[in-house]
Structure 1
Amino acid sequence: MSATLARLSHRGPDDQHCWVSNQLAIGFVRLAINDESIAGRQPYKAGDLIGAFNGEIYNADELVKHHNLMLNSQCDTHVIAPLFTKLGSQVLAELDGFYSGLIYQPGTHTLYLLRDHMGKKPLFYGRDGNNLFVVSELKALQNIEWFEQVPLGISQLDLTTGKLTQIAVHQPPANTTPSLAVAMEQAVIKRLPKQPFGVFLSGGLDSSIIATLANQHRQDITYFVLGDPDSSDVAMVNRLVKHLGLKQVHYIPLPTEQELPALIAKVLYTTESYNPSIISNGLATYLLAEAAHKEGLKVVLTGEGADELFAGYHEQLSEQEWQSTRTNLITDMRFTELRRLDKCSMAHSIEVRCPFLDRAVKYIADTLEHKKFYLAGRNKVALRNTFGHLLPTEIANRKKTSFDVGSGIRKLVVTYLTRNGNMEIVELKKIWQQTFTHDADNTYFFSYPTFDAAIAKRGETHR
């Protein structure tokens, strides 16, 4: 178990703890944000249950008071197991935040697996040699025979057969906020940590909205921007910096040609993917998270999720096709963009929080009409209409520019990987086969379902 946890130490450098009973071992590496004392460690005991959770529960204090729970720490995720004892599968409706983890009931030898409504934090189950496993990153294990992603909601894993049964799914929240503006402001406020934190800025609509709202409530924010001075992202960020009067803004230069090969290999290992888009965008996230870690931060806010929820990837889709495309992108997120975001930030022990993925915000987005997404050649209409007056006009009207394109990093990656006349994915697969022993043909390792065809034909910039 210690060797397995060592491979995950980047996810939790502050503490490492194991609970063992007969043939079952539960280990955890901890990134301590709330209650940094030993009382907050995991796995933790709650009555006759053992719990272990990666994530953040924003309404933990309210739940403790409302349900009269007795906790032995100030750790927010410690609320999950006692609440499960009291409410069973109804716990999903109560938890406001993001989480993945497990609850073990020793008396009945029952293991429950839980994931939030977006699948923001990774969780897998499978078999490695003679052992069943549940793990957050596959690289922790050496001889995986098979694996699957744990579905969202609550599942029960049979510890004898390895069969997983889903027993509860997430439902839309009962109490929703009437306006998008209020929901987004609340989503940002609840994600502000007690300590100083960062915001990843690209100069696009989404991250600019997050920076604007966060800046209204806190001044101890460090902003991180990737790109050389002549990149389009940096030009837009400079306008926002002047507009809002932002102070602590760190500009991260693009890697040199000499640095690039080793960085691509690191990001491939980090994301467990050889998909070109996950690699080039992952490289951008990886460098920003590295910079945030060097500043001593643990928490960063980003604009992730807005493109999927508010139709940022397409300028115009008909009423017939937009719903299915949107649904597919949201379903894919847990093994495409959220996987890239989580793995590349946690590689540097950074917890990323995403206000656009708030359950109230998502519910509002799910109920919007077609005209709130697309109108007269514009997309993300609801966001532009709601927050445009807070932003410089150029940013409020800026077209979607992929993170890797706007920063300039895609050009570097495409140029390097296609230098021998091969497709990007062919070169990346070679690196993969030198890095992992897993079956490279498993679609989890290379597919981005909605965009695979476009990625295969992509160039250094948008077409």
Structure 2
Amino acid sequence: MCGICGFVSKQNITREQLKIMNDTMIHRGPDDSGEEIYPIRNGYQVGLAQRRLSIMDLSPLGHQPMHSANGRISVVYNGEIYNFQELKEELKDYPFRSTCDTEVIIAAYLKWGIDCISRLNGMFAICIFDREDDTVYLVRDRIGKKPLYYELSDGNLIFGSELKPLMAREGFQKRIRKDVLSRYLFQQYINAPDSIFEQVYKLEPGGILQFHYGEVKTWKYWDIKNVYHEMRKNPVTDYEQAKSELKALLQKAVKSRMIADVPLGAFLSGGYDSSLMTAMAQEASSEPVKTFSIGFHEERYNEAGYARAVAEHLGTKHTELIIDEAEMFKLVESIPKYYDEPFADSSQIATMLVSKLAREQVTVALSGDGGDEFFCGYNIYENVRQAQRLDMLGGMVHGICNLPGLKQAGLEGKLPFRVRVIAGNRGKESKTQFGAGNYVTRAQKMVLGEGQPCHFEIESEYGVSDWQIRRMLLDMDTYLPGDILCKVDRASMKYSLEARCPILDKEVMEYSFRMDHSLKYDKGNKKRILKDIAYDYIKRELLDRPKVGFGVPMDQWLRGPLREQLTDMCSREYLKKQRIFDADFTADMIEGYMKTGDKGPATGENYSKLTWSFFTFQQWYQTYMK
């Protein structure tokens, strides 16, 4: 696990400047660093840099940039290739010097070219420089576990694992993209390929960028919708077969992620996914696995007792930390430093706390991320199924409410909230993304100028009629990489901790697409098959309970200790100088939010999420734009 950055540029970027860029990511790789610059043809030079967190082959032989034995290839890379030992068997002709997976990438490229990426099973952000034709490739793993930003300007390419190295480059233009802000306020993250800055992009999950003397090509070697339909050609419908084969794939994925030359443990919330990953890790280990959980004094957030019970059942070496609101609050001001793009998923704070706890004993931690998206675990999937059943009726209600006279009377706005949501869900490209329409309206009105739609209006691309499946695929493309994996990456790397996700193994993901949907969701039983595998290891009564999840008391904070700061951020004078938000509308909305109190999510009138998104944007702005 590391951080990488570099460039292909005609500008005179010195090694000292490259080191400044690289050192902005010292938290991602405190153990070693390397910066090199190579002149190439047509007036370009290539710069490659890496900050290293030593996981495999702790010796200097793992240093990067790493070069091929013949000098043709140079690589900087962030991540883990879990099948590197199998690939090494196929690459015996190469004169390996190290035992790390980076050198396997080099050997694979020399044998198979850039198509070697499809053979890699892991999480990664890679830059490959091929001196044979002066081509540079940027590559990102299939599901977007590892981040990779790039800037294209004046025929130059600059890239980095985070935005900080790009911002540290001399001459970088901090021009905010206002068109992404309404969607950010609504979704609470900025999804690839967009970023907060003009001319800066995120390489999409499963994506490759080729740069050759200023010419740029991008394509996907692994795309959710295409892989889904390809896998569906060979479906698995038998439940016992699916359970047996999926269990074996998960066991293999967990075992491969336990290969490390440093201490390893697991996050344990006590839910199905983290408990199953921990159980399989314990099964594969010759000694008790170290597990970590945090708890809260506030009972509505506290799952520590469940995690403790699972740990005792499995026999792990468990560490638990009970924290209070004050400890969570202390981390608020550090959010923009480590999430160097506006990001407003408040569970980032709890994720940072459990990462800090784990890092005191281990350098690698297993997590259960991906179980909800690939095996139908979120409550929204139940709501989506109900919404599809009621869609025709909702269309009739919408039509009646828009008859002459009734429309003028605003009848639809007077309907009960849930009825109003179903009736208003008329967007053909966003059927599974229904919600409070006034949230969308307010997010759009807050920002000056035209912006992107708040929803991802791409649902027809999936070619799936079942709304539940369609929403799962959409979440794999957007919410999982843009929010969940971003949250875990930045939170864990804040403390130089590597998080590994067995459920997001290539073979597991692709096998999940082959499974008939009824094996995942059956008459309201979400995540059916994953639960049944978990029951093979853990007593049912230890796992069966409502999903809680991490969160913070944002309403109390925004109306309490953050009130003065928020008031300054939304003052009309400040907003008019900033020229990003509609000063009058935004100030009125947030002032109203602070006065009215919590009306409850069922009304669609508690704007805490929009306000928190606004607050975290302004916090980011004051950190980087002042």
Q: 2:81 aligns with which of 50, 57, 71?
A: 57
Structure 2 SS opposite 1:158: strand
Q: Deviations over 1:203-230 (max 9, x none)?
A: 1111111111111122252211111365
The answer to whether 1:284 aligns with 2:337 is: no
Alignment of 1:10-409 (within 5 A): 10-22=27-39, 23-46=45-68, 47=70, 48-68=72-92, 69-127=94-152, 132-142=157-167, 143-144=172-173, 145-153=198-206, 155-158=208-211, 160-161=213-214, 163-166=216-219, 168-169=221-222, 179-194=245-260, 195-218=262-285, 219-228=287-296, 230=299, 231-246=301-316, 248-257=317-326, 259-277=327-345, 280-295=346-361, 297-314=362-379, 316=382, 317-318=384-385, 320-332=466-478, 333-404=480-551
Tell which deviates more after alignment, 219-228 or 27-36: 219-228
Counterparts of 2:141 and 2:114 in 1: how far apart (Å)?
13
TM-score by length of 1: 0.85
Q: Deviations over 1:332-373 (max 9, x none)?
A: 122211111111101111111101001111112112222122
Give the deviation of 1:273 after TM superposition.
4.4
- Structure 1 82/33 Cα, relative in aligned 2: closer, same or farther at 3 Å? same
The answer to whether 1:429 aligns with 2:617 is: yes
Q: 1:416 aligns with which of 528, 553, 557?
A: 557
Structure 1 SS opposite 2:109: helix
Counterparts of 1:130 and 1:255 in 2: how far apart (Å)?
51
CA contact (8 A) 2:137 2:211 kept: no
Give the deviation of 1:113 after TM superposition.
1.3
Structure 1 SS opposite 2:214: coil
Give the deviation of 1:324 after TM superposition.
1.3
Matched AA of 1:308 = E
Counterparts of 1:320 and 1:59 in 2: how far apart (Å)?
35
Matched AA of 1:321 = W
Q: Deviations over 1:123-171 (max 9, x none)?
A: 1111479953111000223235521111344524335436342274468
For structure 1, the 5+ residue unaligned runs are 405-409, 439-463
Aligned-CA RMSD value = 2.6
CA contact (8 A) 2:135 2:212 kept: yes
CA contact (8 A) 2:155 2:214 kept: no
- Structure 1 135/376 Cα, relative in aligned 2: closer, same or farther at 3 Å? same
Q: Deviations over 1:16-62 (max 9, x none)?
A: 00121132210101111111111111111113011111111122122
Counterparts of 2:618 and 2:26 in 1: how far apart (Å)?
27
CA contact (8 A) 2:205 2:481 kept: no
CA contact (8 A) 2:272 2:534 kept: no
For structure 2, the 5+ residue unaligned runs are 1-17, 40-44, 174-197, 237-241, 386-464, 564-593, 595-607
CA contact (8 A) 2:91 2:107 kept: no
CA contact (8 A) 1:50 1:103 kept: yes
Give the deviation of 1:14 after TM superposition.
0.8
Tell which deviates more after alignment, 8-17 or 311-320: 311-320
CA contact (8 A) 2:520 2:528 kept: yes
Tell which deviates more after alignment, 63-72 or 223-232: 223-232
The number of equivalent residue pairs is 427
Tell which deviates more after alignment, 338-347 or 127-136: 127-136
Give the deviation of 1:106 after TM superposition.
2.1
Matched AA of 1:284 = A
Counterparts of 2:55 and 2:508 in 1: how far apart (Å)?
24
Structure 1 SS opposite 2:347: helix
- Structure 1 157/66 Cα, relative in aligned 2: closer, same or farther at 3 Å? closer
Alignment of 1:432-451 (within 5 A): 432-437=620-625
- Structure 1 61/223 Cα, relative in aligned 2: closer, same or farther at 3 Å? same
TM-score by length of 2: 0.64
- What percentage of residue pairs aligned between the two structures are identical? 27
Structure 2 SS opposite 1:327: helix
Tell which deviates more after alignment, 141-150 or 184-193: 141-150
Structure 1 SS opposite 2:147: coil
CA contact (8 A) 1:302 1:354 kept: yes
Structure 2 SS opposite 1:390: coil
CA contact (8 A) 1:418 1:424 kept: no
Counterparts of 1:167 and 1:308 in 2: how far apart (Å)?
21
